[in-house]
Amino acid sequence: MSENMKDRFNWRGFTSIITGLSFVGMSITGIILFVVPPGRIANWTDWRMWGLTKHQWIGLHIWFSVVFMIAAIYHLYLNWRVFLNYFKDKIHKGYALRWECISAFLLCLMIGVATLAEVKPFSSLLDWNEAIKHSWDRADRRAPIPHAELLTLEQLAKQTKDINVETMIENLTAKGIKVESSDSVVGELAKAHKMSPIELYDIAIGAEIYRGGRGHGGRGDGGQEQYSKERASGLRRVGQMTLEQYCTHAGLDLNKAVEKLRKTGLQATAQMTIREIADSKNLHPSDVRALLE
């Protein structure tokens, strides 16, 4: 850059513009963060707004805030004499803004005290904020425990009723998800396969994904309702489903499935559970599923 170009660059104008833009960015991200769900929900369901996760919105908010503060300080530095002369002029005019300054200070003090004391309407805004954040919570999308995405598969299995880590790994492997060991962290494993932790969890426990989502085809509102009903009824493991339920789950023809299993020497009826069918030949439920699929 030549010396002439440097001379033409208006640092005061640049600082004013960057201060304004960073303020806009800080305000927009602040509004977004006002409505985001708690981390235990956002992380488990891979919550996004405009394609960005909660952590990305937090990152943007922090950096816009940092840029705004630096730009504001530099703006004050560049215009220090103007600010100083402005206040000197007001002093010489007999404290023309003294009541305005006192009123502004008292107002800010009152807001701070009332907020900490949880006095209405200041507490009402905070209550509204909590209500918005928790409105994202749904019973059918909750993790076994808060922040389950931070657990290893082995730890997750201990928090899930009637399923062991070996079965989880088998279920994941059957869906093409490579698991190095039972110490694999749920969140990291889900991220590596471009899915949310809840989607990975549903596969691990043998539940079919009915909800729409990233990386999975949606089935509309009816599919979501079906998913919710089946999750609520406890059909979490393939082994606990009847053959008829499993075929409905997997979109298989029941009669063909019964015939296929009988040809392999397995006793199978529509009302037998997958585990009962597997036990007839000392097999694991995942072996029966492999035969069907």
Q: Which residues of the chain have pLDDT under 70?
A: 1-7, 86-98, 140, 208-239, 284, 286
The answer to whether residue 230 sits within a structural domain is yes
Q: What is the pLDDT of residues 115-151, one digit of tens each?
A: 888 888 888 887 887 788 777 777 767 777 788 888 8
Q: Are residues 178 and 38 in the same domain?
A: no
Based on the fold, state whether residues 125 and 24 are members of the same structural domain.
no
Instruction: Count the Cβ atoms, other than its own, within 10 Å of residue 213.
Output: 16
Residue 88 counted as domain residue? no
Claim: this prediction has a pTM higher than 0.85 = no
User: Are 252 and 277 found together in one domain?
Assistant: yes
For residue 236, tell me if it sits in a domain. yes
Q: How far apart are CA 11 and CA 76, in angstroms?
A: 12
Domain range for residue 133?
A: 94-137
Q: 42: which residues sit within 8 A by CB, 6+ positions away? A: 36, 53, 54, 136
Q: Confirm whether 83 is domain-assigned.
A: no
- What is the count of structural domains for the chain? 3
Q: Does a structural domain hold residue 252?
A: yes
155 and 265 in a single domain? The answer is: yes
**Encoded tokens for 47:** 């919550």
